[in-house]
Structure 1
Amino acid sequence: MSTALFWFRNDLRLHDQPALLAACASGARHLVPVFCLPDAQEATRWGFARIGPHRLAWLDDALHDLALQLERLNCPLLIVSAPAASALPELARVLGADAVFCEEIAAPEEQAQVAALRAAGLQVTTVWQSSLLDPQALPWPPQDLPPSFTPFKQAVERVRLAPPEPLAPPTALPPWPADVKVPAHLRGLRPQQLERDEVRSSLAGLTAGETAGLAHLARYLGRKLPDTYKQTRNGLTGVDYSSKWSPWLASGAVSARAIMAQLREYESVHGANDGSYWLWFELLWRDYFRFLHLQHGSRLYHGRGLGQLPPPAHEVQAFECWRKAGTGQPLVDAAMRELAATGYLSNRLRQVVASYLIYELGGDWRAGAAWFESQLIDYDVYSNQGNWLYIAGRGSDPRGGRRFNVDKQTAEHDADGAYRRLWAAAD
């Protein structure tokens, strides 16, 4: 094999990169790392942009960091401005390549992208690498995954299933082929950055990319914040109430296995506690939503989900009030303003606003999931779909959905009104 393409997807890192190492071990003499930019103009069926400015800004920083690291290995990152299904076959012809290596993503659109490349004649090798646990090491085949999270967790803990050790980053990569000119129409610019003084950040001082993500992980553990995580995890404001690992996990800048390895090392020094256990617990939830995709695939994207309820109606006016923070419910509107202004929202408030859309406004859960996809800097296709299905009672919740009493949530989590004042409407 002369030249191979390595297609970065939701794995913008060099550490713990089995797919990249597979490309290096393939015998290819030349390697071209590629990232295909999303179409910032693409609209959803609900009438708004598929990917909003905060997600683009976070992606921009992550790509910048990845590009710097690849430059140090003398193997530059090629950013292209066309969809993978059209750009990669054309690149392969220009470069004389016939092989593509990438991570496996078990969601319908991402599966269709790979199918299109294979239909174009490319040999595509996909490697599953986004989960903490190896799906092949589970106590059952993926298609026999338990229908809810608790028996899944209990079985994993009963057999003491441990994740594989994270892999070290490569110290060298095959070079680009010599004297190759990439067509100008394929060369993309990095996403347009937001002016940072125009953004009210919910993640003050945090930036995207592998370098920043690993530094944040080290600081979090160094400050012994796992010890208080269980007590603070339902906070609404600030950085330290939760781990804030999700933005780097979502872009793949930091792997779940790297996080878990360092958390176990932390426990070996400082001792395990409720907080460190809860971090493991939530990484298991992240895995469960991934494995649900291996089990059910595109069914998770149908209006019915995994249940028997009819597809939901879509109340356009109510949905617009919800996403534009105009419901008149103070906590919900404050949360939707934070989301729109920063691209982030606490886990507690994500559940509250999702429940409000579904149960109080009669909204379509798929429209809510699409709005989160557009806005969240930590958007993850597996977790976003899984959580919205869970709240709507169309996924893995054995209780048939989660309806939150907003007044009760307000009294428990914003009794002094500080959060609502922080994100009150401008006069």
Structure 2
Amino acid sequence: MGCSIYWFRADLRLLDNPQFVNACQHSDSLLPVFVLPPQEQTPWGFQRASKQRSLWLHQNLRDLRNSLEEKGSTLFVVEGDPKNVLPALCAQVGTDVIYCEAIVAPEEQSDILELQKAGLIINTQWQSTMLDPQTLDMEISDLPDVFTNFRQWVEKRRLRYAKPVARPQSIPPLPSKLAKQDPISELTTSLFVNGGESKALTHLEQYCERRLPDTYKETRNALSQFNASSKFSPWLAVGSISARTLAKRIHQYEEQYGANDGTYWLWFELLWRDYFRFLMLKYGKRLFSPKGLSQRTPNTFDSERFTRWSTGTTGVDLIDAGMRELTTTGFLSNRMRQIVASHWVYAMNGNWQVGAAWFESCLIDYDVYSNQGNWLYVAGHGTDPRGGRAFNVAKQIAQYDADGSYRKRWLD
């Protein structure tokens, strides 16, 4: 079997990580690796990853390293471009075999192709969805272009979730040829949640123990209360917890307390997450083109308007409150994301791709599939049958911030 590398990507966990288990079973020695991306600027002049996003990633990496060390292994963290650092690491430890999860976004796929061109054997496995694509009973090319039709297809077949796999019983020893590495850096920015698989599982248990699933549907659109929504998304985004683990726990909750609108809606949101992943399997790079899936020409980029939007100085108090929360905390409720995105595209005639890139930079729960899918949806370049979502700010205030508490919190 020999030596192998396991390349952690957006799956920073040991529970329900089928490909890591596979690597453990087929390797005499195994080097777990994470490749830190270099700091990059977007074409629009801002950092691709904010300080909050970097801190969140580092917290999750430290927790993963601790879990691996408890089993006699460790996490080797290197910085750079995967197509450069991974071949060098393979040469150092004497292997040409890498295991990793499959990610079908264009940049991530390009990394795999470059590594294969370098002569490496890359074993990938799809494992980021709640549902196993093979159980859908359809070709991915036949995936409905309307989410409701997809949901009805899934529910008709009574599909719930794929069974999570256990942690590996043991991890092969580290390769003997291994250079010393620097520790994962300590960043000082504080966040409203703590990263890592252990924290994710603790959060899931306390969420269920406090019976919060019961009220999820009623409270999920609240703008700022921590317990109003599940807050699973930051851990899901880096893979510190899997959608299947969440779905299984929700199902267990229903068996204990009974199903209700709240538990259904939690599953419903995970299904949306799946849908955006399957949509990228179907359309690939088209989802990253300026027109997306539409024939509409997107708005042009205006740097002055973008600065006002991104810094929360538009003069529209609800929008400014949301954008300031985003840059301060690295998070924004789902409702506020839709409101500020809609305002950028429709009221300010902003370019949707710049908005998506700003969210990528700021959000600690940035997920390439959901971020791209949601921006396309709001901007009318995706699969929304209504051709986009233009929100009325006055109506949103009346529904969700009538007392002005949210605006006061972030504008004072």
TM-score, with structure 2 as normaliser = 0.98
Q: Distance in 1 between matches of 2:302 and 2:175?
A: 54
Tell me how far apart the structure 2 counterparts of residues 188 and 163 of structure 1 sit (CA, whole Å).
39
Q: Does 1:193 align with 2:187?
A: yes
Q: Secondary structure at the match of 1:6?
A: strand
- The offset of 1:386, in angstroms, is 0.2
Superposed, 1:354-369 pairs within 5 Å as 354-369=341-356
State the AA in 2 paired with 1:67. Answer: R
Which residue identity lines up with residue 293 of structure 2 in the other structure?
A: L
User: Counterpart of 2:275?
Assistant: 288
Gaps of 5+ in 1: none
Query: Is structure 2 residue 233 aligned with structure 1 residue 246?
Result: yes
* 1-structure distance, mates of 2:185, 2:357: 21
CA shift digits 1:42-86 (9 cap, x unpaired): 100111000110001111110010000000111111000122111
Task: Give runs of aligned pairs for residues 290-329 of structure 1, distance below 5 A.
Answer: 290-329=277-316
Q: Show the counterpart of 1:68.
A: 66
Q: Does 1:377 align with 2:376?
A: no
1:65-144 matched pairs, under 5 angstroms? 65-144=63-142
CA contact (8 A) 2:300 2:350 kept: yes
- The answer to whether structure 1 residue 13 and structure 2 residue 13 are counterparts is yes
CA distance in 2: counterparts of 1:420 and 1:295, whole angstroms: 40
Could you tell me how far 1:238 is from its partner in structure 2? 2.2
Kept after mapping to 2: 8 A contact 1:56/1:191: no
| Partner SS for 1:379 | coil
Look up the SS of the partner of 1:336 in the other structure: helix
Q: Which residue of 2 aligns with 1:161?
A: 159
Assess if the C-alpha contact under 8 Å between 1:31 and 1:174 holds in 2: yes
Match of 2:336 in 1: 349
Q: Which runs of 4+ in 1 moved over 6 A?
A: none
What letter is aligned with 1:300? Answer: L
For 2:182 and 2:385, the matched residues in 1 are separated by: 46
User: Which residue identity lines up with residue 104 of structure 2 in the other structure?
Assistant: A
The answer to whether residue 218 in structure 2 is matched with residue 220 in structure 1 is: no
* Matches of 2:287 and 2:178, distance apart in 1: 42
**Contact residue 280 and residue 369 of structure 2 kept, 8 A:** yes
Distance in structure 1 (CA, Å) of the matches to 2:405 and 2:219: 16
Q: Distance in 1 between matches of 2:113 and 2:121?
A: 10
In the alignment, is the contact (CA less than 8 A) between 2:325 and 2:410 conserved in 1?
yes
8 Å Cα contact 2:105/2:368 also seen in 1: yes
Indicate yes or no: 2:279 matched with 1:279: no
Question: What is the count of residue pairs matched by the alignment?
Answer: 412
Identity %: 50
- Name the SS for the 2:122 alignment partner: strand
Q: Is the 8 A contact 1:35 1:79 kept in 2?
A: yes
Alpha-carbon separation, structure 2, partners of 1:188 and 1:105:
27
C-alpha displacement at 1:143, in angstroms? 1.3
How big is the shift at 1:181? Answer: 3.5
User: Which consecutive residues of structure 2, in runs of 5 or more, have no partner in the other structure?
Assistant: none
The residue aligned with 1:24 is: 24
Cα drift, residue 189 of structure 1 = 4.5
Q: Retained in 1: the 8 A contact 2:52–2:189?
A: no
SS in 2 for 1:207: coil
CA distance in 2, matches of 1:189, 1:114: 26
The 8 Å contact of residues 37 and 79 in structure 1, kept in 2 or not, is answered as yes
The whole-number CA distance in structure 2 between the counterparts of 1:292 and 1:372 is 20
Q: Secondary structure at the match of 1:345?
A: coil
Mapped contact 1:37–1:81 kept (Cα < 8 A):
yes
| Offset of residue 136 of structure 1 | 1.5
Looking at structure 2, the residues matched to 347 and 215 of structure 1 have their Cα atoms a distance apart, in angstroms, of 23
